[in-house]
Every structure is written in structure tokens, then in C-alpha cells.
């Protein structure tokens, strides 16, 4: 029995030497590998391996194996297809024109451009960036380029002077010997100690440049521009002052027209042309019953108006205040901004509105209702009813 077992073991070992896959079925048969271009659909177990061909352009298998067919890859950004995927090879990609494959990565980056003073030593390729070198002596490059070589430097003629030697980033600059810049201006002889001294002549072989004084011609232009700027500022300040005075008069007229009994002071003080009004006097309490028009806001008792103004002058921002009322009464943003600079904007708004639009309580209550301040509207309606009964 032991002998038979040893023979079986030896036979399997000897069979393993000839089985390339190194795997066997349960019956001891060698498992076959799926060849290149084929993938496993059923693994080797009780029966041998079952394979199927890979689909061109969809899947591939590069070598014999026990693996399934792998899906074909797609070229990433900045890459183009070099060869299409087939049953045995994956898609082959390469960088697009003007890009190269960056070392240590699978991404393509734009080719570099040689800077000024340099020329291309080696062009950019699919797998290498451009290589640049400094312009050789006697050549130059004024702009960055990835194609143009360095240009030879210019040589000045015999009737020209060299103003600037050739450099790697700029060409030679030449100037004609007959240029007007080289001529000495005509000047009158200068009398010194009763003797005439002529201007010094230039030495032989030297170049004398004439510096023309253009400052005298530019000064009048500067003065003209300065005068125009000053005139514009004066006109701007004048218009602003006129608008401010007009607004002050309108608001002062509104305050003066709202007073019923006794004088009420108003105070104006300027902060860059800003109008500010304060209450300095209080309307005296009437000792007798006064019959007033209940339909006009300006005819309400001072205490009731102050109560309404305090309700509108909310500082917590949780409820609509006098600004919202001003917009519902037809005031624009510029007018609202002017009123907000005052010390008591709610009082100023209602006083100005009473003078301008008549100050009807019905209109005021409707505006308060639209801005969801029914508490103030009910207060005015109740006061109007009490006043009409008196």
C-alpha cells in the first residue's frame, strides 16, 4: 500500500515537470493556460480551464494566463492615440504636438519656450522638453521663441557711430555722424573781461551730443492742465454746496411748518455739509381742549407724534423703521441718505412729508400697513377717533 502511494506521488511530481501551468484538475490532469488574446470564463477545477477570445477594441489579454480579459484603456488629457486596442495589446498613447511626457508621471505638460538671449539646442519631443543654450558671441535674441535661432549682430557703417554694442538680448544701435543730435547749437560769443571768448570746439574724434531744452515748451501745457483741474474742482464744490444749502432750506421749512403752538427751536450744524437737526424746545401742554383736524398728522398732539417717531426710530433692526416708511411714501435713496444724517431722522421725515404731501393720516396708515407696522397704524387711528370726538 505504501508502495502504491509512493508511485502515485512520484508520477504527479514527474507530471508537474511537464505541466507549464503548475495546476491540476481534481483528476490529476494539467490545467491549460488561456493563450494571449483570450480570457478565462471558467477556472480549472473538476474540468480543464475554459477560455474565450477577447473583443477587439474593448478587452485584451497580453499573455497566456489564468486571468480574465482586461478592458481597453483610453488616452488621458493632452494625449492622442498612437495605436488602437486589440485582443493582445492595450491602447498605446502619446503626448500631443507641443507637449511632452513629464518624467515620473503620466501627464503631458506644454513644451517650454527659450527666453530672450537664448536659442533652441534641441527641439521638444514627445518624451523630452526643449533644450536651450545662450546665444553665441556676435548674435542676439530679442524675444522668447521655441523656433527662431539667434540672429547675427548688426555692423555699423563707416559713416555711423556705435551708440550701444550688441548684447545677447539686443542688437547693435548705430547713429549717423550727420545726425542733428550731434550738431552743436549756434551760440553767440560770450564777453568776458572785455574779451570775446568763443565756444570751445569739440576735440578731434570726439562726439558732442546736443541736449535740446524742451522744458520751456512743456511748462505752458502743465499750467493749462493744472488750471483745468482747479476749475473743475471749484465747479464741483460749488454745485455740492448749492445742493446742500437747498436741502437745508427744505428741511428747515418742513420743521418750521409743523409747529402748532409755541416756538420750537431747530439747530443746524455742519459736518462736511451734512444737515443735523435737534429738538431744543418742547411744545407746551394745552390747558384747554383744542378742536383739531383729525385727518392731518401735523395736527396731532406733540406727545402722540413723539410716540410715533420713537416707534419708527427702532435701533434693533428687527422691525421696519423710518427708512422703510420713507420708501413707501415715495422717497428715493438719496433723500433717505440725507435725512439719515440728522439727529432725529424719524421726526425730520414726518415733518418733511407733512409739508410736501399734506400729511394725511389715511395715507400714513396705509403706508404703515404695507410695511407691517399695524401697531403704529392702530395707534394713529385710535388717536384720530379720540381727537374727532373732542
Tell me what pLDDT residue 156 has: 94
The owner of cell 465747479 is 235
Distance CA 252, CA 296 (A): 20
Tell me what pLDDT residue 20 has: 77
Tell me what pLDDT residue 362 has: 85
Cα→Cα distances 300→162, 264, 313, 380, 381, Å: 94, 16, 18, 9, 11
CB atoms within 10 A of CB 179: 12
Q: Taking a C-beta distance cutoff of 8 angstroms, is the pair 293, 299 a contact?
A: yes
Tell me what pLDDT residue 259 has: 45
**Nearest Cα to Cα of residue 261 among 284, 278, 292:** 284
Tell me what pLDDT residue 270 has: 39
Which parts of the chain sit beneath pLDDT 70?
1-17, 181-217, 251-295, 314-317, 357-358, 382-390
Q: Taking a C-beta distance cutoff of 8 angstroms, is the pair 254, 354 a contact?
A: yes
The owner of cell 460749488 is 238
Distance CA 216, CA 201 (A): 27
**Buried (b) or exposed (e) across 374-386, using 16+ Cβ within 10 A?**
eebbebbbebbee
Q: Taking a C-beta distance cutoff of 8 angstroms, is the pair 131, 113 a contact?
A: no
Task: Give all domains of the chain, ordered by start, each with its CATH number.
Answer: 20-93 (2.10.50.10), 111-176 (2.10.50.10), 239-280+289-389 (1.10.533.10)
Q: pLDDT tens-digit profile of 247-279?
A: 777 766 655 554 443 334 343 333 434 343 433
CB atoms within 10 A of CB 141: 23
Q: pLDDT tens-digit profile of 309-339?
A: 888 886 666 778 888 888 888 899 998 899 8
Tell me what pLDDT residue 256 has: 56
Amino acid at each position: 500500500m505504501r508502495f502504491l502511494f509512493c508511485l502515485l506521488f512520484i508520477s504527479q511530481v514527474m507530471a508537474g515537470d511537464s505541466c507549464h501551468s503548475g495546476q491540476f484538475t481534481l483528476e490529476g490532469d494539467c490545467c491549460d493556460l488561456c493563450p494571449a488574446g483570450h480570457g478565462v470564463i471558467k477556472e480549472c477545477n473538476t474540468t480543464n480551464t475554459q477560455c474565450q477570445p477577447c473583443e477587439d477594441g474593448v478587452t485584451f489579454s497580453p499573455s497566456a494566463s489564468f486571468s480574465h480579459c482586461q478592458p481597453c484603456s483610453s488616452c488621458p488629457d493632452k494625449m492622442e492615440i498612437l495605436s488602437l486596442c486589440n485582443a493582445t495589446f492595450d491602447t498605446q498613447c502619446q503626448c500631443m504636438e507641443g507637449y511632452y511626457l513629464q518624467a515620473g508621471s503620466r501627464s503631458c505638460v506644454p513644451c517650454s519656450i527659450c527666453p530672450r538671449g537664448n536659442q533652441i539646442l534641441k527641439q521638444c519631443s514627445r518624451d523630452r522638453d526643449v533644450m536651450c543654450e545662450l546665444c553665441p558671441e556676435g548674435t542676439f535674441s530679442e524675444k522668447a521663441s521655441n523656433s527662431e535661432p539667434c540672429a547675427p549682430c548688426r555692423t555699423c557703417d563707416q559713416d555711423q557711430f556705435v551708440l550701444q554694442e550688441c548684447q545677447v538680448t539686443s542688437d547693435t544701435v548705430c547713429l549717423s555722424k550727420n545726425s542733428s543730435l550731434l550738431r552743436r547749437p549756434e551760440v553767440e560769443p560770450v564777453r568776458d573781461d572785455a574779451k570775446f571768448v568763443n565756444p570751445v570746439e569739440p576735440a578731434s574724434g570726439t562726439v558732442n551730443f546736443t541736449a535740446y531744452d524742451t522744458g520751456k515748451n512743456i511748462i505752458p501745457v502743465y499750467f493749462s492742465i493744472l488750471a483745468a483741474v482747479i476749475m473743475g474742482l471749484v465747479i464741483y464744490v460749488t454745485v455740492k454746496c448749492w445742493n446742500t444749502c437747498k436741502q437745508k432750506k427744505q428741511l428747515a421749512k418742513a420743521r418750521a411748518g409743523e409747529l402748532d403752538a409755541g416756538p420750537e427751536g431747530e439747530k443746524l450744524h455742519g459736518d462736511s455739509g451734512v444737515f443735523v437737526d435737534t429738538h431744543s424746545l418742547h411744545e407746551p401742554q394745552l390747558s384747554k381742549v383744542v378742536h383739531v383736524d383729525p385727518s392731518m398728522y401735523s395736527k396731532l398732539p406733540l406727545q402722540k407724534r413723539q410716540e410715533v417717531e420713537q416707534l419708527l426710530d427702532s435701533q434693533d433692526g428687527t422691525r421696519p423703521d423710518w427708512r422703510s416708511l420713507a420708501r413707501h411714501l415715495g422717497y428715493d435713496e438719496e433723500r433717505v441718505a440725507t435725512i439719515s444724517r440728522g439727529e432725529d431722522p424719524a421726526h425730520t421725515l414726518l415733518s418733511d412729508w407733512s409739508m410736501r404731501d399734506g400729511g394725511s393720516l389715511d395715507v400714513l396708515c396705509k403706508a404703515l400697513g404695507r410695511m407691517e407696522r399695524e401697531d403704529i397704524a392702530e395707534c394713529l387711528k385710535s388717536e384720530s377717533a379720540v381727537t374727532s370726538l373732542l
